Homo-oligomer: A and B are copies of this chain.
Amino acid sequence: MRLVVIGAEAAGLSAAARARRLDPSLDITVLEKTPHVSYGACGLPYFIEGQVRSLEELTVYPVEYFARERNIKVRTNCEVVAISHPRREVTLSGGERVRYDKLIVTTGARRDLSALRGAGQPHVFTMDTWAAAEKLKQFLADRRPRRAAILGAGYLGMEAAEALRTQGLEVTVYQKSGDVLRRQDPWLTKLVAAHLERCRVRLLLNAPAGSVPESDLVIVACLYRPNTLLAAEAGIETGRTGAIRVTERMETNLHSVYAAGDCAEANHLVTGRPVWMPLGTTASKMGRVAGAGAAGARERFPGITGTSIVRVCGLGVGLTGLSEHQAGKEGFDAVSVQIEARDKARYFRGVPVSVQLTADRRTGRLLGGAVVGEQGVAGRTNVISAALTSRMTVDEFENLDLAYAPPFSKVWDPLLIGAQQLAKLLH
């Protein structure tokens, strides 16, 4: 039985590893179009920033590891240009054909710069791949640009802004819409905008988006799309998000063909509808399930709560579930509160943490949350995510038994203060 995996990043390698573990007899080949495999692309902004000194530091496993330790063939510089499912084979750019019995598509996502005027200029970069980061780092060293324009105030835009600000550049972030981090949340936008201003990063909202602005250096951190061309040509269906439609076993519409990672949709646990939120953790989880399926096991990926976290010039911003506006668009009778509270006693260097919680007025169900602060952001965001996963109501959330001791927290955690305020609006 031959398993072919297209793509050797988080999803593809998780899939291959899982399949191997479940079926030692599978013949597994992973085809990767670039020379690089198994590196944490999420770490690229920190390479630009200087925290990561070399790209090799981001490599989790060297390419030899897979053949030697896991009996997985990983072929780099192997671009798949066509999938012929009736013949159960893929064609590589050199013309070679590789046969499969099971196929896992992890083609990821890409920037579509076709509609962006001026994108072809040599001072315009993306930051998504090893090669792109390497080129950008070289440009910074050679040309010493003074001003940078970042297109997009999503998480990559925020990471790029921090990285370049740390490198001493004057940074302007251009965002087409009126809000940041794709959250449609005026409260969050205001918090983030104020913090960027304190860090002397310019944020231009509702900015014109058709062409590259005047600057010494431009980073494109928008126009991100699921990379589904290959799949679409092979008859693999995409959903309303534009990403590949999959079952909870990561099956596509073609028998024996799975998809996982940034090219695929995921079920949103709050809305019950498919969404496209390309993130490394989701990709790894999807990959495991796809790999299990290809090896004949029946695992499932229930979906995501839409959790993300980003550092914005030292400030942690954690998001999960839906914002009030997003919840309203999904048909909920949404209501939100925002509170700010110290996370620890003053004598333990407690700092203010902002918490936003959103619920459905009709059912009291928690729908989403945001946590913003210098510390304790990931843990609190994750507590909200766990609550969303089990469809907790605000009343249940308000009574959560959270760990308390002065070096770690206050008697009333900011999460519980937020829940108390929200409960008042519901009763």
* Number of A residues, CB within 8 Å of B: 65
B307 touches A411 (CB 8 A): no
Q: Are B40 and A406 in contact, with the CB atoms below 8 A?
A: yes
By the criterion CB–CB under 8 Å, are A408 and B378 in contact? yes
Known: A46-B347, A51-B348. A282 touches B386 (CB 8 A): no
Q: Are A403 and B386 in contact (CB under 8 A)?
A: no
Complex: A376 Cα to B389 Cα, angstroms: 21
Return the CB mask of A71-86 against B: 1 if under 8 Å, else 0: 0000000000000000
Which A250-302 residues have a C-beta within 8 angstroms of B? 269, 279-282, 284-285, 301-302
* B396 contacts A302, C-beta separation under 8 Å: yes
Whether A400 pairs with B386 at a CB distance below 8 angstroms is yes
- Indicate which residue in B52, B385, B408, B409 contacts A402 across the interface (CB closer than 8 Å): B385
Residues of B within 8 A of A392 (CB): 386, 389-390
Whether A401 touches B311, Cβ cut-off 8 Å, given contacts A284-B412, A376-B379, A411-B10, is no
For residue A381, CB closer than 8 A to chain B, the reply is: yes
A225 vs B405: C-alpha distance in the bound complex, in angstroms? 20
Q: A387 at the A/B interface (Cβ < 8 Å)? A: yes
A 120-142 binary contact with B (CB < 8 Å = 1; else 0): 00000000000000000000000
In the complex, chain B residues whose CB is within 8 Å of the CB of A383: 379, 382-383, 386
**In the assembled complex, A351 has its CB within 8 A of some CB on chain B:** no
> Which residues of B have CB within 8 Å of A407?
46, 311, 316
Q: A280-B411, A380-B379 are in contact. Are A403 and B318 (CB under 8 A)?
A: yes
Closest Cβ neighbor of A302 among chain B residues? B399
Q: Across the interface, do A285 and B403 meet the contact criterion of CB distance under 8 Å?
A: no
Write the nearest CB–CB distance from A51 to chain B, whole angstroms: 6
The minimal Cβ–Cβ distance linking A323 to chain B, given in whole angstroms, is 16
State which of B57, B281, B309, B402 has its C-beta within 8 Å of the C-beta of A411: B281
Is there an interface contact between A307 and B403, defined as CB atoms closer than 8 Å?
yes
A279 to B402: give the CA distance in the assembly, Å.
11
Q: Chain A 360-403 against B: per-residue CB contact (8 Å), 1 yes, 0 no?
A: 00000000000000001111111101110110100010011111
A210 to chain B, nearest CB (A): 30
Report whether A406 and B42 are in contact in the complex, using a CB–CB cutoff of 8 Å. yes
